[in-house]
Structure 1
């Protein structure tokens, strides 16, 4: 009897234990991941979380708009100060995000990605957050991939995308790499300076006119959050196809738009007088005087403010003869005030300075200004006139 019980106990212990059935959540996750894998995506895991990474590679001969990516590759080699990026080429990333809202700590980044030149191609990489509570995995892999010292080329990223990343990183910073050292070239600000007065809107899709790219059947960006919430509910990758394509075009547009702006700044592309004037003023504000002079010189005609700004530039360079010519052509009260200063202090002609002062007064009467500014200018002109009258009588 004892031997029989011993044999029965041994048999029971040697039988393999049955594995517990996968939970409904595990079954759904497996099916969800398989659906992404079928679309050519990669599943990246971190601790108990996972995200989706999608890569596209383009040869340099490929185009987005009317120029190839090879042209952008060449533009990145040009050391022109306003658009130069002081890191190796592989550390320059053309970056964009998609979020569940425009602001606030409750806003989640569910899609981020970048285009970057790598191994003789242009790599377009997207990171998708399948579930809002997997943010640690999202930032772990994104920060690991971009490295510790990068330069972002974005469109409104300096005031939106990167601050959003810093905000969300706070919630997972104990688990993921620290944020890298980041330099920033925001093409929104570049376009506003270069194309001032030419567009009523500086939306990225509007700037695509300059690179010769037109979207077809594009999903409007404001619908992206709605699609993401639908995805979270149904776990169907097809729901995100339009959002992914919209985001991909945003990043590729940054690549081509950078080249467009760089060509205009480096004189490798013809431009209207208005664009040349805008670039010249922008460069003058940055203190890049030599290039500013070149752009002013290439403009066939200038606005009154353009002549005025060119005059101030020549004055700063102590090229007074050229400055006087520009101030005269501006036909503005500011220009006549500068002419009065020149006549009094440089040419030593108080009588001429007095005439310029009176012309400035007449021009000032034709301009609508804030009363406080008008009163201040009139007081200054009155003071100047009295001083010049005394000098003329001596």
Structure 2
């Protein structure tokens, strides 16, 4: 089932109306965002930006519960987020991810070589799945090469402020990545969908900033 953000904010009970896909159950949250002036569709053809949220920040023992995928098109920016409402649905969102990456020529991440891709591979192995060979581009590497002498940190939010000039209010109320695992487990225990909204927004902001960073690299 595809749901909008308002349903999650209000805590609508989606149990019983879940999307059935690949033999599992999960929620697909889709949102069509308006095009950003600085993003040229031709620079993004065949590219999916990927960012994940997990229950483990150091190591891969914790389940992965949110996979964000962003695609820039002629009519706007499609953000698709695969949400596991409980750890048992992890295999379902991983199966769904396979259908996305097989249809795209390239996946772009920020720090994906060190975190996202290895984490996905390990969790797929845990679920008896295999991640296909894909073209994966980690934008953290060229960012460090280009900006390490100018910035004290090449974190994504540092690049937002200093290079991409994203207004600070875009991150107003943003949930720190370090508390995301705890908040997800709180949601699992109480089933209050409103707890997930800050995590979903955080994931979208990371995806948009990664897309903006690619646009920056494409310009002479």
TM-score tier (shorter) = 0.7 to 0.9
Q: Does 1:248 align with 2:204?
A: yes
Q: 1:35 aligns with which of 1, 7, 12?
A: 12
Q: What is the match of residue 154 of structure 1?
A: 109
Higher strand share: 2
**Segments of 4+ in structure 1 off by > 4 A?**
none
Q: What is the match of residue 217 of structure 1?
A: 173
- Secondary structure in structure 2 of the residue aligned to 1:182: coil
List runs of 5+ in structure 2 lacking aligned partners.
1-10
- Out of 146-155 and 124-133, give the one that drifted further: 146-155
Q: 2:127 aligns with which of 172, 179, 188?
A: 172
Mapping 1:205-354, distance limit 5 Å: 205-209=157-161, 210-213=163-166, 214=168, 215-263=171-219, 267=220
Q: 1:57 aligns with which of 32, 41, 56?
A: 32
- Could you tell me how far apart the structure 1 residues matched to 2:13 and 2:78 are? 19
- Could you tell me how far apart the structure 1 residues matched to 2:143 and 2:65 are? 27
- Could you tell me how far apart the structure 1 residues matched to 2:131 and 2:188 are? 27
Contact 2:41/2:74 (CA < 8 Å) preserved in 1? no
Aligned residues: 205
Mapping 1:184-203, distance limit 5 Å: 184-203=136-155
Q: Does 1:136 align with 2:136?
A: no
Mapping 1:17-36, distance limit 5 Å: 35=12
- Secondary structure in structure 2 of the residue aligned to 1:199: coil
Q: 1:75 aligns with which of 31, 43, 48?
A: 43
Could you say which structure has the larger radius of gyration?
Answer: 1
> With structure 2 as the length reference, what TM-score do the two structures score?
0.84
- Secondary structure in structure 2 of the residue aligned to 1:159: helix
Describe the shift of the 1:186–1:36 C-alpha distance in structure 2 as closer, same or farther (beyond 3 A).
farther
Higher helix share: 1
- Secondary structure in structure 2 of the residue aligned to 1:170: helix
List runs of 5+ in structure 1 lacking aligned partners.
1-33, 77-88, 268-394
Aligned-residue CA RMSD (Å): 2.3
Q: 2:75 aligns with which of 81, 102, 120?
A: 120
Describe the shift of the 1:157–1:54 C-alpha distance in structure 2 as closer, same or farther (beyond 3 A).
same
Deviation at 1:96, TM superposition (A): 0.5
- Secondary structure in structure 1 of the residue aligned to 2:78: strand
- Could you tell me how far apart the structure 2 residues matched to 1:198 and 1:184 are? 26
Deviation at 1:105, TM superposition (A): 3.9
